A = this chain, B = another copy of it.
Amino acid sequence: MGPDCPVPFGPGERILLAHGGGGRLMRELIEKELLPALRNPALEALADGAVLDAPHGRLAFSTDGFVVQPLFFPGGDIGTLAVNGTVNDIAMCGAEPLHLSLGFIIEEGLPIADLRRVVASVAAASRAARVRIVTGDTKVVEHGKGDGLFVHTSGVGVVRAADPLGAERVRPGDAVLVSGPIGQHGVAVMAVREGLAFAKPILSDCAPVADAVLALIEAGVKLRCLRDPTRGGVATALNEIASQALVEIELDEAALPVSDEVAGACEVLGLDPLYVACEGRFLAVVAPEGAARALGVLRSREDCRGAARIATVKPAAAGLVTVRTPIGGVRVVDVLSGEQLPRIC
C-alpha cells in the first residue's frame, strides 16, 4: 500500500452496534468522547433528563434534525449546524437560547475520529452561542441503515421580545430586512458535494443569530415576525409569511445581498440564490417606522454588516411574493415543489 491508500481502521476506532446498547461500551463512549468536550453540571449527572432553573419569562422550545451530506463542509459541519440551527430557531421566537439537548443516530462503522470532530464542533458552537448541552441520547444502527451520522437538537430559551411575534402580525407597509448576504450555506455544501473548486472557496454562513436578534429587541425596534431562511431559502420563508399574513411581499431584486462568489457558483450549479439555504441569516419584518433604525442596528454589528432592506409588504387578497426586477418588471416568486438541494441541513 502506498501512502495514499486508506489504512483500515481497527475495530476500536470505529463505532460498533454495541456502542448503542446501553452497556459498558456506550458508557465509555459517553464518558470519553462526549462528556469531556461538553461538560457542565446538568449534563454531568448523566440522568434521564436535566433539571434546570426555570427562566423568568415565557419559554421558547424548538427542535431540528440534521442529515446534511457531507458531514463536513467548508465553514462548518453537522455539529456546528445542529447547534446553530436550533439556537436560531429559538432566536426566531424573539427568545434568548439557554439549553440544548443533543441526540445522535450513528451508523455502525463511523470513524470515532469523525464523531470526535463533530463533538468538538458542537462544544465550540455551544460556547460561541452561550448555550449549554444539558441532556443527550445516542443510538447506533447497523451499517447500511443510516448515513454516517444524523443529529437532533432541541432547545429551550426565554422570550425577550416584549410583544408576540408571528406572521399574522405582519401589516402592509412593513419592511423586510435580511441580516446578511444570502445563499452561502447551500452553495458551500453543494460545491463540495459536486466536487467543484472555486478560486476562493465559499464558506457556509452557519452561525448563531441570537445576539443580533437580541440587539434589535434591546433597541426597541417594533418586530412583527422573524424567520430564518434555511431549507427553501429566502423565497420559501417569505412565501410562508405572505400566505400566513395574507399579504403581498414585494422583493426588490437589486437590493438582495448576494456575493459575487455565490452568484457565480449558482450560475455554474444552475441554482437560484433566492431558494438556497442560509444557516446564519434571518429575515426580520419590522414596522415601517422602525425599518431604518433596525437596519442601522444590524449594520453596526460585525456579523450583520451586509444587512439590507429587501422587500416591502403590500395589501393583497391572497398571500404571494413578487419581485420587482431592475428593469421594472414584476414576476411571482413561487414555492418550489420540493427542494433544489436535498440534504443541505
Residues of A within 8 A of B (CB): 16-27, 45-67, 88-90, 92-93, 95, 99, 101-105, 134-142, 144-147, 150, 152, 154-159, 164, 166-167, 226-228, 230-232, 236, 240, 244, 277, 335-340, 342-343
Contact = CB atoms under 8 A, between A and B. Distances in A.
A25 B232 CA distance: 12
B227 A63 contact: no
Nearest to A233: B22
Number of copies: 2
Contact of A22 (B55, B135, B231): B231
B342 A21 contact: yes
A57 B53 CA distance: 8
B63 A135 contact: yes
Given A93-B49, A144-B144, A65 B104 contact: yes
A82 to B, nearest CB: 11
25 contacts: A20-B231, A20-B343, A21-B232, A21-B336, A21-B340, A22-B230, A22-B231, A22-B277, A24-B338, A25-B338, A45-B166, A47-B93, A48-B62, A48-B89, A49-B90, A51-B58, A52-B58, A52-B60, A53-B59, A54-B56, A54-B158, A59-B156, A63-B101, A64-B137, A65-B138
A101 B60 CA distance: 12
